[in-house]
Amino acid sequence: MGRLSGKRAIITGAGSGIGRASALLAVSEGASVIAVDLVEDSVDQTAKIIRDNGGDVTTVAADAGDEDAVHGLVDLAVNKFGGLDVFYANAGISGGLVPLAEQTPAHWMEVLRVNLLGPFLAIKHASPIMIAQGKGAIVCTASVAALRANAGGSPYSASKAGVISLVQTTANSLFGTGVRVNAVCPGLIETGMTKPIFDGARQRGTEDKIGQLNPTARYGLPEEIARVAMFLASDEASYVNGQAYPVDGGLTSTHPFPLRK
């Protein structure tokens, strides 16, 4: 029996990286999962990996920042599984490192729509089902960029800081309902979003320096974020609410400093 045995879950951004790792882990831990991604081919590949390992999953190609789509995901879970216990609002996009003077309102609005409005929609539409059940867990992906400067572009960082505030405020809005809302804050993780960083370092022969500023002295893997996210989704985290967990090798525990060897 896995820690998510019997749980009914929606995971967005499940076509790659943290979302894919979380979908694989959730299924292996006994959950019935709806895996969602904007790119159908990517989420189908996630499903293939799960099925090749003896699991089962339902896939949907949908925009996690679109209200009708998110409402439809919740309806699908209720109709297919009879309820919803976990919503992992993981889908996100990079804000890019465009100089401040070159950033546009349109770009800001798109980053906020996906990264911040998306988790709000997940909470808005999942929470009534969970309230009626008397129990549920909503997990959102924030970032260490929400906690400190220089971990992402301004639009991205602001959107993720908003996620942390959203988690805190909605956890209190759902006071006494049995519905918990938490966030995970990944550090530098090798995903599709961070691929240019890793590709550039490998081309320069400096891959060993990636993650050198955190006391664990390395970058992270999607599976390491998935383990914390699925812990927050599980009953093992039953007394954790309104929190944002950094999973960053200790990066945010200190100020960056130059290595001396």
Tell me: the pLDDT tens digits for 113-161? 999 999 999 999 999 999 999 999 999 999 999 999 988 899 999 999 9
CATH architecture entry for 8-189+221-246: 3-Layer(aba) Sandwich (3.40)
- pLDDT tens per residue, range 162-202: 999 999 999 999 999 999 999 999 998 877 677 677 677 77
Distance CA 77, CA 57 (A): 12
Q: Phi/psi class of residue 88: alpha, beta or left (left: φ > 0; alpha: ψ in -120 to 50)?
A: beta
The alpha carbon of residue 121 and the mean position of all alpha carbons in its chain are separated, in whole angstroms, by 14
**pLDDT tens figures, 6-55:** 999 999 999 999 999 999 999 999 999 999 999 999 999 999 999 999 99
Q: What is the pLDDT of residue 260?
A: 60
Beta bridge pairs of residue 99: none
The tokens for 248 are 């960053």
Structure tokens at 47: 């499903």
Point out the catalytic residue in the list 156, 219, 239, 245: 156
What's the pTM value of the predicted model, to 2 decimals?
0.94
3-class DSSP assignment, residue 123: helix
Q: Look up tokens 């998110």; give the residue.
A: 70
- Does the annotation mark 239 as catalytic? no
Whether residue 87 contacts residue 122, with contact meaning beta carbons closer than 8 Å, is answered with yes
Segment 43-84, tens digit of pLDDT = 999 999 999 999 999 999 999 999 999 999 999 999 999 999
Share in percent of the chain as helix, strand, coil (round to 5)? 50, 15, 35
